[in-house]
Amino acid sequence: MAFHRAVPNSVGRLGSLVEAFLPWLGLVVMALLVLALLRRSGIALLALLLPVATWTHLFGGLLLPGSAPGPHDLIVVQHNISDENTDPAGTARALAGAEPDLIALEELVPPALAVYAQTLASDYPYHAVRGTVGLWSKHPLTGARPVDIKPRQITESWSRGLRTVVHTPHGDIAAYVAHLPSVRIRASGLASSGRDESARLLGQAIAAENLKRVLLLGDLNGTVDDRGLTPLTSRLNTAARGFAFSFPEAFPLARIDQVMARSATVGHIRTLSATGSDHLPVLARVTLG
């Protein structure tokens, strides 16, 4: 846990695979702790102090409750709605029911796109869609344009990046919505080269962003500990509170749906109830500095 960056990524991207499930290594420590108690071994209990302290240092803060909402906060929802979702209207109502300021969606496909636009229109009069990603907002949006994050290995039509400006009462924010390529666990290891290349392209776009405040919402197909997302996590703040494991919906093992920010703080993040998707929605509070 302490030296996960030392695990090499040259063979099968083993390092990224370990980092995708890094918090779950605490279960190994817990099993050893139970065994030490059953054996009544003082030496074993003493030896376990180090891994317990390491896990607490890395992840203990995520267990703390979030602070009370402040006057300069935005509530945002991020959700991969699934292109196989059979209840887009119900999904839209569920997301709007959380009363966020912004709703970012991925895997928007016709005719479901029209259903989301119609269902969200009354509460979210502003929206922008490019390709299969979109953003719905209570605040005006301008300058919407696609962001090219297509990796070279994909030859077919593919548009999964969006940039727009959100004009909030507390100032303008450059909002990015992205859906990075999927990763697969194979016999040869973790297949993530497309995701990693897409993350680099998105990181370059954010680095070139002129607006001071930046908000990134998306299905990034990686956790914040995964070194494949370093082009993003090195430039943006991540959630300070909450695990919010969002995938797979039936038994969430990792949070691959992310909310990140620059010149702003992502506070508590949590999941919402299941929709018709294979992901859980995540809701986060963003404090504008």
**239, HSE (Cβ side, Cα atoms, 13 Å):** 31
Residues 223, 144, single domain; the answer is yes
As for how many domains the chain has, the answer is: 2
Structure tokens at 260: 């990140």
Among 245, 258, 253, 278, which Cα is nearest to 77's? Answer: 258
What are the distances in angstroms from CA 277 to CA 90, 195, 247, 272, 284? 11, 21, 10, 12, 19
57 and 78 within one domain: no
Q: Is residue 107 part of a domain?
A: yes
User: What's the pLDDT score for residue 225?
Assistant: 96
Residue 46 buriedness (CB in 10 A; 0-12 / 13-18 / 19+): exposed
pLDDT averaged over every residue in the chain: 94
Q: Which residue range forms the structural domain that includes residue 142?
A: 73-288
Q: Is the pLDDT of residue 20 over 80?
A: yes
Please give the C-alpha separations between residue 21 and each of 61, 222, 238, in angstroms, as whole numbers. 17, 10, 17
Claim to verify: residue 9 and residue 102 sit in the same structural domain = no
Q: Do 283 and 229 share a structural domain?
A: yes
The whole-number pLDDT of residue 242 equals: 95
For residue 231, give both structure tokens.
């082009």
Res 76: pLDDT:
98
Residue 139 has pLDDT above 90, yes or no: yes
Peptide bond between residue 111 and the one before it cis (omega within 30 degrees of 0):
yes
CATH number at residue 235: 3.60.10.10
**13 and 85, same domain (yes or no):** no
Cβ atoms of residues 15 and 227 within 8 Å: yes
Map residue 256 onto helix, strand or coil: coil
Residues 140, 222 share a domain? yes
Within this chain, do residues 43 and 147 fall inside the same structural domain, yes or no? no
> Has residue 68 been placed in a domain?
no
Is the predicted pLDDT of residue 77 greater than 70, yes or no?
yes
Map residue 137 onto helix, strand or coil.
strand
71 pLDDT tier (thresholds 50, 70, 90) = low
Confidence of residue 166 (pLDDT cuts 50, 70, 90): very high
CA distance 193 to 181: 9
Q: What pLDDT, on the 0 to 100 scale, is given for residue 46?
A: 87
Q: What is the mean pLDDT of residues 56-85?
A: 87
**Parallel/antiparallel/unpaired status of strands 257-262 and 264-271:** unpaired
* 25 and 57, same domain (yes or no): yes
Place of tokens 């990686």: 222
Q: Do 265 and 165 lie in a common domain? A: yes
* 56 and 181 assigned to the same domain: no
User: With 70 as the cut, is the pLDDT of residue 72 above it?
Assistant: no
Query: Of 96, 91, 125, 126, nearest to 108 (Cα)?
Result: 91
Query: Is pLDDT of 173 > 70?
Result: yes
Residues 138 and 226 in one domain: yes
pLDDT(65) > 90: no
pLDDT score at 189: 82
- Token couple for 160: 């999964």
pTM of structure:
0.92
pLDDT tens-digit series, residues 220-260: 999 999 999 999 999 999 998 999 999 999 999 999 999 99
254 within some domain: yes
Q: Is the pLDDT of residue 66 over 90?
A: no
User: Which tokens hold the place of 147?
Assistant: 């962001």
